[in-house]
């Protein structure tokens, strides 16, 4: 599964904008230096996405409005525990089992923090399509989470996140049909003004007129024949080369090696000429 290059570039720009805002939100709320940078945006099947995740991780299940589709924000357990420690006034240390499930209070803290950043996500994607993403629940075992069908295509954005002294990789998954619908709808819209459209039409008309005036060489030739190199090297004055062109067949009218018409040889006044008898040009 691959993205159209233009669509991929639009998504990269949107996710890049979101990643910068996400880092700013984390820095403000956690009171420590935090940066988020986009690594890649790919389209793959949901099954491939799940297989790429750790066996135990924090998967925040989100609802995408207005399509009611399910999105996933995946954050490593250690990074999530670091967030909780920062939010509770600590230095961002992970104490105890980092792979354990979140308590109800810890989930609410992480949910509220992520929900603020997802507001910036809606702003970053406003140029593609209007959407809001709301955190709904949390899961911990990707192999048991069926957000969409296993073979369904999904858009996966991979980020590198730095929070304090901790660095890790996070991902965000969106159903591809929701995102691509917005991208394709944008392809059909033309945001140019009437003056820009008129200038474009004028440029096309001038280009068409200019191309029609470009001089091109036209040749009238017999049908080419194939000979051996020794036949060419051995040619001397007086030799007769037998052509495979029947005497009753018209000659070829050629432009840049392309046969455009057939013509019969003749004269016009004191000059040689040809009369076009058939056209070989195809659309």
Please state which of the ranges 27-41, 76-90, 266-280 shows the lowest mean pLDDT. Answer: 266-280
Domain 5-187: which CATH number of 3.30.70.2740, 3.40.1550.10, 2.60.120.310, 3.40.50.300: 3.40.1550.10
pTM, 2 dp: 0.64
Is the CA virtual torsion 98, 102, 107, 111 positive or negative? Answer: positive
CB 233 within 8 A of CB 265: no
Nearest CA to 89 among 35, 30, 33? Answer: 30
pLDDT over threshold 60, residue 282? no
Cα separation, 99 vs 80, whole angstroms: 10
Query: Helix or strand or coil: residue 133?
Result: strand
Nearest CA to 106 among 128, 126, 90? Answer: 90
CB 39 within 8 A of CB 169: yes
**Which ranges in the chain are annotated with CATH 3.40.1550.10?**
5-187
**164-179 burial string, b = 16+ CB within 10 Å, else e?**
bebebebbbbbbbebb
Highest-confidence segment of 3-17, 162-176, 218-232, 258-272: 162-176
CA dihedral 14→20→26→28, nearest 10 degrees, is -120
Determine the pLDDT at residue 113.
93
pLDDT tens-digit series, residues 159-218? 999 998 899 999 999 999 888 887 877 655 555 678 888 888 899 889 988 888 889 899
Mean pLDDT of the chain: 88
pLDDT (average), residues 61-80: 92
> Between the CA of residue 171 and those of 72, 128, 152, 226, what are the distances in Å?
8, 20, 17, 63
CB 178 within 8 A of CB 125: no
Determine the pLDDT at residue 283.
45
What is the CATH topology of the domain spanning 218-279?
A: Surface presentation of antigens (SPOA) (2.30.330)
pLDDT over threshold 70, residue 149? yes
Q: Beta-strand (E) ranges in 76-131?
A: none
Please state which of the ranges 95-99, 196-200, 242-246, 269-273 shows the lowest mean pLDDT. Answer: 95-99
**107-132 burial string, b = 16+ CB within 10 Å, else e?**
bebbbebbeebbebbeebbeebbebe
pLDDT (average), residues 127-138: 90
As a whole-number percent, the residues of the chain with pLDDT over 70 amount to 96
Cα separation, 175 vs 69, whole angstroms: 7
Give the strand order in the sheet containing 69-75.
34-45, 153-163, 166-175, 69-75, 58-65, 132-139
**DSSP for residue 207:** H
Determine the pLDDT at residue 186.
60
Residue 66: asked if its preceding bond is cis (omega within 30°), the reply is yes
């Amino acid at each position: 599964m691959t993205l159209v290059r233009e669509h991929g570039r639009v998504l990269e720009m949107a996710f890049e904008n979101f990643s910068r805002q996400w880092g700013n939100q984390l820095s403000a709320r956690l009171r420590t230096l935090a940066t988020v940078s986009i690594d890649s945006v790919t389209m793959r099947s949901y099954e491939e996405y799940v297989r790429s995740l750790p066996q135990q991780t924090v998967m925040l299940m989100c609802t995408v409005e207005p399509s009611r589709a399910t999105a996933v924000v995946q954050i490593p357990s250690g990074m999530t525990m670091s967030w909780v420690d920062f939010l509770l006034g600590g230095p961002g240390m992970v104490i105890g089992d980092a792979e354990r499930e979140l308590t109800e209070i810890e989930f609410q803290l992480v949910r509220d923090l992520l929900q603020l950043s997802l507001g910036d996500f809606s702003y970053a994607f406003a140029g593609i399509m209007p959407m809001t993403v709301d955190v709904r629940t949390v899961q911990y075992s990707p192999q048991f989470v069926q957000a969409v069908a296993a073979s369904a295509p999904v858009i996966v954005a991979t980020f590198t996140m730095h929070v304090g002294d901790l660095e890790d990789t996070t991902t965000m998954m969106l159903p591809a049909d929701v995102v691509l619908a917005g991208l394709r709808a944008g392809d059909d819209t033309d945001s140019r003004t009437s003056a820009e459209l008129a200038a474009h039409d004028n440029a096309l008309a001038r280009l068409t007129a200019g191309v029609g005036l470009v001089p091109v060489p036209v040749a009238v030739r017999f049908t080419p024949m194939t000979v051996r190199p020794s036949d060419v090297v051995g040619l001397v004055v007086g030799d007769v080369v037998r052509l495979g062109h029947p005497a009753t067949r018209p000659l070829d009218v050629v432009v840049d090696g392309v046969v455009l018409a057939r013509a019969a040889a003749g004269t016009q006044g004191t000059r040689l000429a040809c009369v076009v008898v058939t056209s070989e040009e195809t659309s």
